[in-house]
């Protein structure tokens, strides 16, 4: 289980890596023909591949984020191509540029915060309608009142807030600020790789827009990177859903199976089970049962200090992998984990007399309304020996040792060697 700070950092790392790579590429002055041709087609290629990827996984929010970025890229790239070929900008360059700077953060923030909550087709129609409506109004104003629209966009409404460093219209800073506020709030409320990618992507576009006519291929590179961030976030979350248990945060059964295929010659596997979990669940309810599983998972995750890695095997069962370790090295760490779980007190509150607000709840905590319970775990351990040809056989031996631990009275650690040589011997430390 990742600690909150480490988990949040892992959300940002892929996007930050892409952002840094994009910044480095944008400042390269002399590009050969290959990279020049690549940057010309890269945004379209990323949209096609990333859009297809999002479509397969029915991630419409991410798809429309990519479409929003690509539309801005297409409109501005047309302007920069004309500028590079003719040495001057088109007549509509200023109004198109200002419109993109104003509407890009608006649409990006809107689609980023717009979660799929209805039927997929209805959601698709609604998103298309919003995109078409905003685009039609912007195009109509640009075609009918170009001079008036340009004057309105470029107007400095708050002179006291205007600085010489501002290279965009004042209104665009307002829309970027609002979009950043929305995305930061969204991430704090629901920390996810996608929400982190949205934040970093918006930051990348905020940096790239002022450089559109200054640094060659800046727009191509950064728009491609932002779309790649979104696609990478989808892949990251798909991996988490497939390989990480949502309740406990530990790697799941599929991750365990993959890890077992990459073990060397020396390793130890352990199986752990929460004692009397069904009875505890029936007595205190599923919510408390989930709390217990999260508690056990959080304690088992500390096994990394002993060189192990915990996995959610299924139900109330957990597996632990010690790669490159011997049984003698692992047993003390398992004992520490067992004792830690057994000594932890879980506070239960009277569910029939819930507090009406947070203040009342704080006043009742640790008082007569609360009672404490504890749980224990039984652990079976097996080491890879000559008679164990593969990890599956070692895991089976650990499972047999787990049953022996339960038969020995529970709340103990039993190795497979003990069950085969001298029967179940209780390993729990007694005062």
* CA separation for the pair 391, 270 (Å, rounded): 11
Question: Residue 351 pairs with which residues in a beta bridge?
Answer: none
Residue 206 backbone dihedrals phi, psi, to 5 degrees: -65, -35
Residue matched to tokens 């950064």: 222
**Cα–Cα dist 279/282, whole Å:** 5
Q: Kindly tell me the sign of the dihedral angle through the C-alpha atoms of 420, 425, 426, 431.
A: negative
Contact 42, 220 (CB under 8 A): yes
Nearest Cα residue to 248 out of 290, 308, 281, 306: 290
Give the max Cα distance, the chain.
Answer: 93
Provide the CA 15 distance to its chain's centre, in angstroms. 11
CA distance 140 to 144: 6
Distance of alpha carbon 345 from alpha carbon 392, whole angstroms: 35
Catalogue the active-site residues: 316
Buried b (16+ CB within 10 A) or exposed e, 2-21: eeeeeebeebbebbbebbee
Contact present, 364 and 370 (Cβ < 8 Å):
yes
């Amino acid at each position: 289980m990742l600690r909150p700070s480490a988990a949040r950092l892992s959300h940002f790392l892929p996007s930050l890596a892409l952002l840094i790579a994009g910044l480095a590429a944008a400042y390269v002055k002399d590009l050969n023909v290959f990279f020049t041709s690549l940057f010309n087609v890269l945004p379209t290629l990323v949209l096609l591949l990333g859009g297809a990827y999002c479509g397969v996984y029915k991630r419409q929010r991410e798809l429309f984020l990519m479409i929003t970025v690509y539309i801005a890229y297409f409109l501005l790239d047309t302007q920069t191509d004309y500028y590079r070929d003719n040495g001057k900008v088109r007549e509509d360059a200023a109004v198109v540029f200002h419109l993109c700077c104003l509407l890009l953060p608006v649409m990006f923030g809107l689609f980023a915060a717009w979660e799929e909550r209805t039927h997929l087709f209805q959601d698709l129609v609604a998103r298309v309608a919003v995109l078409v409506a905003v685009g039609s109004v912007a195009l109509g104003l640009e075609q009918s009142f170009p001079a008036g629209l340009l004057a309105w966009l470029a107007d400095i409404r708050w002179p006291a807030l205007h600085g010489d460093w501002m290279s965009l219209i004042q209104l665009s800073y307002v829309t970027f600020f609002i979009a950043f506020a929305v995305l930061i709030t969204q991430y704090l409320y629901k920390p996810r790789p996608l929400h982190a990618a949205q934040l970093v992507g918006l930051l990348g576009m905020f940096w790239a827009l002022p450089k559109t006519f200054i640094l060659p291929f800046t727009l191509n590179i950064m728009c491609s990177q932002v779309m790649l961030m979104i696609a990478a976030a989808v892949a990251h979350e798909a991996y988490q859903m497939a390989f990480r248990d949502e309740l406990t945060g530990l790697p799941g059964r599929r991750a365990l199976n993959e890890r077992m295929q990459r073990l060397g010659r020396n390793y130890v596997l352990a199986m752990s089970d929460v004692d009397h979990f069904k009875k505890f669940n029936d007595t205190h309810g599923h919510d408390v049962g989930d709390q217990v599983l999260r508690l056990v998972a959080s304690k088992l995750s500390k096994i990394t200090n002993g060189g192990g890695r915990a996995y959610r095997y299924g139900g109330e069962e957990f597996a632990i992998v010690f790669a490159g370790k011997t049984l003698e090295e692992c047993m003390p760490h398992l004992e520490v984990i067992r004792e830690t779980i057994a000594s932890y007190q879980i506070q239960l509150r009277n569910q029939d007399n819930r507090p009406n607000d947070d203040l009342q709840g704080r006043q009742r905590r640790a008082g007569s309304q609360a009672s404490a319970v504890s749980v224990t775990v039984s652990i079976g351990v097996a080491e890879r020996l000559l008679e164990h040809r593969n990890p599956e056989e070692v895991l089976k031996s650990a499972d047999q040792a787990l049953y022996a631990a339960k038969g020995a009275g529970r709340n103990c650690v039993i190795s497979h060697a003990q069950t085969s040589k001298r029967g179940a011997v209780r390993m729990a430390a007694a005062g």
